[in-house]
Structure 1
């Protein structure tokens, strides 16, 4: 199975999710989203396919999202902020032919394998 992971190698959950994918023999495309962020359209598609709003995919820990008022902002404003500052994207996000998941906890990836 092919999988794409939007990955931050400094994140333990992201590393564990990648390891789960590799242990199960997936052909994994690793996208370090802080270096190569998804486009606004791709990000919107990922959240839509995961059945979640951009606000639900907003990373609060270790960011200034709360100070910027993003948790209560419109989904469009959150997407714009994420595109401008990808650290605001919670991770890891994994996409396979079976769907998309924000893999927190990492075992969530098993739903789409």
Structure 2
């Protein structure tokens, strides 16, 4: 399979499930701390491709959820400046295989890109604490 450079927020249960799925699919991971990486706008921009700026942001980031930051009103340059200053704003995980870079974890897209093992429940880039059914499953699994 492939080696995936995987930038995560340490301790994130969603990222833990994503890594488990990638490993179960035969991929090797080079895991990095998203919040400790020395990001620049130039390094970060390629992860978002042609997605709209609103999709660059982590919708569960405290500053987004509180309304302090409105992704819909951000220009690309402003969004990158905000994310460089506060990496928790970045939609995660960030992944790189070879020269291709992606942000977020859309299971179907990742499967089409590098291949994934089948799962009973979809794995996404949404925080499980935002979905009551996932939160219940996480508590039962001890992931809260």
TM-score > 0.5, shorter chain as reference:
yes
Distance 1:7 1:108 in 2: 18
Distance 1:8 1:106 in 2: 19
Q: CA deviation at 1:105?
A: 4.3
| Number of equivalences | 111
Aligned partner of 2:51 in structure 1 is: 52
Aligned partner of 1:62 in structure 2 is: 61
Distance 1:109 1:7 in 2: 16
Aligned partner of 2:33 in structure 1 is: 32
**8 Å contact from structure 1 (residues 6, 92) kept in 2:** yes
Aligned partner of 1:97 in structure 2 is: 98
Distance 1:11 1:101, change over 3 A: same
Aligned partner of 1:72 in structure 2 is: 73
Q: Normalised by the size of structure 1, how large is the TM-score?
A: 0.80
C-alpha offsets along residues 43-100 of structure 1, whole Å, 9 cap, x if unaligned?
Answer: 101112xx32443110132321332334311111010000001110011122213833
**8 Å contact from structure 1 (residues 54, 79) kept in 2:** no
Structure 1 or 2, whichever has the larger Rg, is 2
* Structure 2 alignment gaps of length 5 or more: 115-144
The structure whose RCO (Cα within 8 Å, separation 6+) is larger is 1
**8 Å contact from structure 2 (residues 3, 97) kept in 1:** yes
Distance 2:8 2:39 in 1: 11
The reply to whether residue 41 of structure 1 matches residue 42 of structure 2 is: yes
Q: Normalised by the size of structure 2, how large is the TM-score?
A: 0.65
Q: CA deviation at 1:37?
A: 4.5
Distance 1:3 1:45 in 2: 16
